[in-house]
Structure 1
Amino acid sequence: MEYVASLAFAKEQDQKDPLSRFREQFYFPQRNGKDSIYLCGNSLGLQPKNVKAAIDQELADWQQCAVEGYWGAKNPWLYYQQYCSKPLTSIMGASQQELTVMNTLTVNLHFMMLSFYRPTKQRFKVLMESGAFPSDQYAVETQVKFHGFEPKDAIIEVSPRPGEQLIRTEDILDIINRESDSLALVLFGGINYYTGQFFDLPAITAAAHKAGAYAGFDLAHVAGNIPVSLHDWNVDFAVWCSYKYLNGGPGAVGGAFVHERYAGNRGFLRLGGWWGNEESVRFKMEKGFVPKDTAEGWQHSTAQVFNMVSLKASLELFESAGIKALREKSIGMTNYLEFLLSQIKGINFEIITPNNCNERGAQLSLLFKDKGKEIHQRMTDAGIIVDWREPGVIRVSPAPMYNSYQDVFHFYEIIANIASNA
């Protein structure tokens, strides 16, 4: 497509957009008496308008049914996690047997590592990307210590080459091959939160397995952003949050994938809990943990109804829109944003996200050489909501479910005006 830096072009693209109707299904924060230019869905998604009615329904059922809501509510609470896992199958590329929603992201990561990181004296190392999100770094560091190893000995980090911002796939694969005798786990973020780089999950998984290691991923910035095929790619496990692109609300329930070869294996090691126990014997209240033969066998506590209801409501919109259509629009908007940013002169910044749209999601990371914080504040004052990440990046993320080409163009207008007055 040949892009044009004009409002007329942006309006034309929005008129052609079959997903434009979903914009009206969300609330936008107000700035200066009008909708903000919200390009921060990679940090927290907007509130879908159907959430209030969904919460009201559960409140009414709690009021009318009390404990009988577990089987007598409109959406019986006994099975609430399944109302979210079913629509996630197409988004994550997995069967419902392999998916569950529970806890929060880092809690799920710890539980998965207790199953999949079982180091020995020879095979004890974990490979991850340098600059991973801090919670991943903390989880790996403390898991390594928990098993009696020193992080400096057990954790290997892959870094960009000198003078580069992105990690090369061949460097990841080379290290996996080189450390094949000592590697226990490869754990990467699917998308690096800072640069926006989408890693080659199938290649990393295949290399890890060839080396005799497990492959797991933190998909916080992938879920609802880029369609993936976790089952077909043979990924061992994955975890994610739902408050970013999935619009599940602040602190919303997390999700987990466990490949069917482990999910269906009742003997595969995991920590047990009541809600992970086989349903047919759960209420016999007997000793002896018998896990469900699905990913739900990793659940511990009763489904968090009021922490799942907003995600359930949002996923109804995803089912209607379709993740493939959302991805197609996302690529179009991000490519347009990249084109517009290339027109700007007078501000010293570079886009450090891959320019190949297949190696990124709905985010461009702008690295400012100077005055980045000042520019971010000026954007905020002008009604733009994007986020700042130390030491120098403004992350801009047009979410295809509710953002428009006009949002992208107006962002460009504002930053161009800042540049002209820099």
Structure 2
Amino acid sequence: MPFDCLDLPWRTAYPALCEWLDSLSLEALQAYKASPETLAEAVKTWLPEAQQLVALCETNVNQAERYQTDICHESEANYDSHLATGIPGRKWAQITAFNRAISLSHQGSWLEWCAGKGYLGRVLSACRQAKVTSLEWQPALCQDGQAYADQHQLSMHFVNGDAFAPESEALVSRCDHAVALHACGDLHVTLLRHGVVAKPQSLTVSPCCYHLIRDSHYQPLSVLAKQSSLSLSRHDLKLPLQETVTAGQTVRNKRIVEVSFRLGFDSLQRALGHSDSYLPVPNVQKSLLSEGFEAFCHWAADKKGISIPDNTDFAAYLRQGETRFLTVEKMETLRTLFRRALEMWLVLDRAIYMSENGFDVEISTFCARELTPRNLLIKATRKAKWN
């Protein structure tokens, strides 16, 4: 855990690598984080496996998106003019890219898993003139989604239910195609498990939030992954998600301030003898950061029941926090090499699991990383012999 480290933990094992990291400015570190390929080239002297690791993460751009763009754009031109109502621009771009990645030859009924207000279902229904069932556990979202569908005469039916409930499998068995765009952790895994039993014609899933699981450690799906000695905790599973390629510079600057404040306060609480490990504090209203480091420390101390002496040198602890922020950035930079690799391992486990159970499977990217780093797509199509 980078926040828990007062120095790079590889000083003894990789001294030259640490010296190189120490020589980099914050701007250089951020540039390497944005380009794993460049980073792998830079560290190959100390980590010769780095380039192979990056190469193993390469995937094809989805072929359906490449060859059907014109057709889908023509269909999209016929969408209701209000179809994107209430959908943030970046999310709308993800939805339309996901839709283009699904073959237009797929006909029949659709199941939208963990639907929210049914934004993806709108596009599926409008583009394909298809019947869509949207499963969502929050009643208010179901009501809003159904009201929109009824108003715009879309063939959508919302089901207010729990994706983890046994009866959700019946929804999978009654559909021809099931889709899940960024369903978290065990939610999309549950859909895949139901798909293995119900065997619809296809499942198309873009995984997200791998750490949101009910077990303390990751439970592999495929026979092959179960034979691996790799053991992944929830903390490990957060690694693929810890990048900010979609954040603007203003958000990045606020992160620098907040993390420096948190680490500065951590150095203060260590000096006061409260804890020798990193002490997390709750989420903070961003407006508090503008009041300065001292105000932040008093707020954090109050949350943790810590008394701060009147003669505390807050400026000194802020400097420590800023220094530790650079240490964290150095660690996060090197961790960049492993983020996509771990995500690919998890996605491959899902893909192999589906392949072991009667599906032809493709892994691709459905949009650019700049639109969302969670751009991997698993397409599972039932093999003919399993019909």
TM-score (norm 2): 0.32
Higher relative contact order, structure no. (Cα contacts within 8 Å, ≥ 6 residues apart): 1
Say which one has the larger Rg. 2
